[in-house]
Structure 1
């Protein structure tokens, strides 16, 4: 059995797909399989897959029902012990990334997760460090990056595949259910795993109302006892964010002081 399966889903993003493929095939570590699930793209992505056919263990180009359906197809086909979902446009951070990660993945942990470089749509980059300890409140506002998470395939056998009824938050739902209902074990890797393409669907603020609606449905379904707490915390965070944005736009000096204080407290 291969230790790692890399699953890449793509739809009409030929250039992004090429970046992802190149970052995977340059890896010094070789005990992995590479699967690409393309949704029947019409932009030349299939020609690209044919070009790199000998570098990809399995690929398919056919219509699907969305990103999570495509990811589920990859899960069902994968044979690795751990699965890493690297969407088209995302890249492994360095040619030694898998080699370094595999050395740290030396215990039977359900979810290993590392850090990312977040590539803003304006061309700027920032490093995102994920916490060592995960608690329920963390998932009120945030999520792990599936582009930096190695998920034991047996966890999908235990919990089930991604929720295909959702368009945005099925990976968030999987993490929160796995960790807080099924007591999945996890470990943070002090390592940058991927350069994350910030143009993804969940990063687009126009999709946030739909994202919050899907998250509310998950809380209602699996954690109904926390529903009121979840709604109150979201309302508080929205109010806090609006206050910060108001300071930034109308009181530059106060904003500078608050920003400095936040940095000190981090």
Structure 2
């Protein structure tokens, strides 16, 4: 079994339908499908039961949050690679799994297309460095991770939105895992989830993770590299609310960051 597709859901019946249909439409036969539901009461379980012929394992019970549910999915998986396609997210095309059959790196990452946009998002370079990860996480909807890696380093459940970022730093920086970047659009990303609507939690968790993983000297260097990172991020997000403005907001942010690096 090459792939384990893991879907986390809680009271998102319509989003779950979209996700299931995109998985069922995959042309690859080398995958299993796991659904971890958090005890939904909106009819999600009925949707799951309607598609049990396509689901390898499912459970509906209360959990302790998104990352706890994702770890539960890992525990039930058997594939060589794991991909988390949570409810509302969907594969971009029917050959999305087959397109990565020839790759063997520890982490393989493609691109995502956010809802309402037509410009793919994701890592842009063939290699990846600590500075790249400081600038942002890899999209888990487009990231294939070797199961053995996730068994060794499960998601840290004390974080609500950035445990996947912490995992990437651990694997790619500290463990020097192999990495392959791809321009293939793997998933359509539903931006209505907790990671998008974090209500200010993102900078707080980022600071906690940095303090947990790095000595003060490294953190100081990071702060020098991005002396006003949070303010710039807020401004970029504000600009990006205008339809079609996200790409310009991103360019603006990059220009400001280059300027601060030269000072």
TM-score interval (norm. to shorter): 0.7 to 0.9
Q: How does 1:93-108 map to 2 (within 5 A)?
A: 93-102=92-101, 104-105=102-103, 107=104
1:192 match: 185
User: Which of 107, 110, 116 matches 1:111?
Assistant: 107
Q: Does 1:149 align with 2:140?
A: no
1:75 match: 74
2:5 match: 6
Cα deviation for residue 243 of structure 1 reads: 7.2
Cα deviation for residue 23 of structure 1 reads: 0.1
Cα deviation for residue 125 of structure 1 reads: 3.9
Structure 1 stretches of 4+ moved >2 Å = 123-126, 229-248, 258-263
Gaps of 5+ in 2: 256-263
Task: Give the length in aligned residue pairs.
Answer: 247
Q: How does 1:21-32 map to 2 (within 5 A)?
A: 21-32=20-31
Contact 1:82-1:150 at 8 Å conserved across structures: yes
| Range 177-186 or range 229-238, more displaced | 229-238
Contact 2:74-2:151 at 8 Å conserved across structures: no
TM-score between both structures, scaled by the size of structure 2:
0.86
1:38 match: 37
Contact 2:3-2:82 at 8 Å conserved across structures: yes
Cα deviation for residue 42 of structure 1 reads: 0.4
Relative to structure 1, the CA distance from residue 62 to residue 227 in structure 2 (aligned partners, 3 Å threshold; closer, same or farther) is same
Cα RMSD (Å): 2.7
Contact 2:39-2:61 at 8 Å conserved across structures: yes
User: Which of 211, 214, 227 matches 1:235?
Assistant: 227
Cα deviation for residue 52 of structure 1 reads: 0.5
Question: Matches of 2:219 and 2:79 in 1, distance apart?
Answer: 36
Name whichever structure is richer in helix by fraction.
Answer: 1
Contact 2:112-2:120 at 8 Å conserved across structures: yes
Question: Matches of 1:246 and 1:6 in 2, distance apart?
Answer: 34
Question: Matches of 1:97 and 1:48 in 2, distance apart?
Answer: 23
Cα deviation for residue 56 of structure 1 reads: 0.5
Gaps of 5+ in 1: 249-254
User: Which of 174, 183, 186 matches 2:176?
Assistant: 183
Question: Matches of 1:244 and 1:43 in 2, distance apart?
Answer: 35
Question: Matches of 1:69 and 1:134 in 2, distance apart?
Answer: 27
TM-score between both structures, scaled by the size of structure 1:
0.85
Cα deviation for residue 169 of structure 1 reads: 0.5
Contact 2:239-2:249 at 8 Å conserved across structures: no
Relative to structure 1, the CA distance from residue 236 to residue 96 in structure 2 (aligned partners, 3 Å threshold; closer, same or farther) is same
